[in-house]
Amino acid sequence: MSMPFDADEELAGAALIAGTDAEARAIVERLLGAAGIACFIEGSVVYSIQVHPRDLARAREILGSSSELKDHWIQVSAK
């Protein structure tokens, strides 16, 4: 099976958003995409924003400082 990530590589969680918040998911995808960061979103009840470990610090910074997400339920992972 061809997957865009190495199956042996653990993804890292950059943040959590509500599973029901489609707007937050779109903002996250756009912000990280603009920074060239691949993200993998999935979950139930809450969605994890997962990135490659090499992108984790930048993803946290981008999501944690976004004014667009300030009114959304989001938990950015601790450094």
Partner 1 sequence: MGLNREQSVAMPGQEEQTVDGGTPAPKGGAPASCNCIPSGVQIKNVSPYQRGKLYGHEFDVEVSLSYSAAASGPEADAQLFWFEKTNRPPAWQGITANAWNDMFAMFPGSPTFDGWTKNRTKPCPGSETATIHDPPGASVDLPARTLEFDIYVRGQQVSHNARAKQVLEPDGKGGIKTQTFDILPSALGPGAGP
Residues forming the site for partner 1 (CB under 8 A)? 1-5, 7, 10-14, 16, 18-22, 25, 29, 40-48, 50, 73-74, 77
Alpha-carbon torsion (58, 55, 42, 76), positive or negative:
negative
We find the least distance from the C-beta atom of residue 29 to partner 1, in angstroms, to be: 8
Q: In the structure encoding, which two tokens stand for residue 4, read together? A: 């865009």
* Residues contacting residue 29 through CB under 8 Å, at least 6 positions apart: 39, 41
Shortest distance (Å) from residue 58 CB to partner 1: 16
Of the pair 26, 35, the CB lying nearest partner 1 is at 26
